[in-house]
C-alpha cells in the first residue's frame, strides 16, 4: 500500500492558487483596542497583516440553500498565514474556516466563508 505525499499536494495547491488566484492580504486586529459605540468600531490596538494566495468565489445555488450561507457571502480558497474568525479582507470578515489538513502535517488548503 502506498502512502499519499501530502507535501507534494500542498505544493500543487499553492502552484494552482498562484497561477489562477492572486496575492491576498488580510488584517487581524490585535488585542488592546476598545469598542467605540459612536462609530461601531474598534479604536486603538494594533493590526497584523496576513498574506497568502487565494481565489475569491461566489457560492453556487446548492451551497446557498444551506441556511448558514447568505446571498452576499463569498468563498475564498486560500493558502498562507493561518486565518482566524473575524480577520478582514476588504469589506468582508472571515465568518467560518475549514482547513484541509489530512495528516496534520500542515494545512493544504483553507476555505474561508467571508461575510460583509
Q: What is the mean pLDDT of the chain?
A: 89
In contact, 69 and 55? CB cutoff 8 Å: no
Q: pLDDT at residue 99 above 50?
A: yes
Q: What are the domain boundaries of the chain?
A: 6-115
Average pLDDT over residues 17-44: 83
Residue pLDDT, tens place only, 57-95: 999 988 887 679 998 999 999 999 999 999 999 999 999
Residue 91: what pLDDT? 95
pTM: 0.81
Average pLDDT over residues 9-17: 89
Residue 47, CA distances (Å) to 20, 26, 28, 29, 96 in order: 28, 10, 5, 5, 20
* Least confident segment among 20-24, 28-32, 81-85: 28-32
CB environment 34-43: b (16+ within 10 A), e (fewer): eeeeeeeeee
Q: Do the Cβ atoms of 4 and 105 come closer than 8 Å?
A: no
pLDDT at 2: 54
pLDDT at 1: 46
Amino acid at each position: 500500500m502506498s502512502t499519499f505525499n501530502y507535501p507534494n499536494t500542498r505544493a500543487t495547491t499553492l502552484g494552482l492558487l498562484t497561477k489562477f488566484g492572486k496575492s491576498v492580504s488580510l488584517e487581524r486586529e490585535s488585542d488592546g483596542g476598545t469598542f467605540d459605540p459612536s462609530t461601531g468600531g474598534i479604536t486603538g490596538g494594533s493590526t497584523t497583516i496576513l498574506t497568502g494566495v487565494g481565489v475569491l468565489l461566489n457560492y453556487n445555488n446548492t451551497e446557498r440553500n444551506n441556511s448558514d450561507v447568505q446571498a452576499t457571502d463569498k468563498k475564498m480558497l486560500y493558502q498562507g498565514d493561518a486565518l482566524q474568525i473575524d480577520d478582514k479582507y476588504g469589506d468582508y470578515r472571515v465568518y467560518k474556516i475549514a482547513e484541509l489538513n489530512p495528516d496534520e502535517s500542515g494545512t493544504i488548503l483553507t476555505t474561508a466563508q467571508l461575510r460583509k
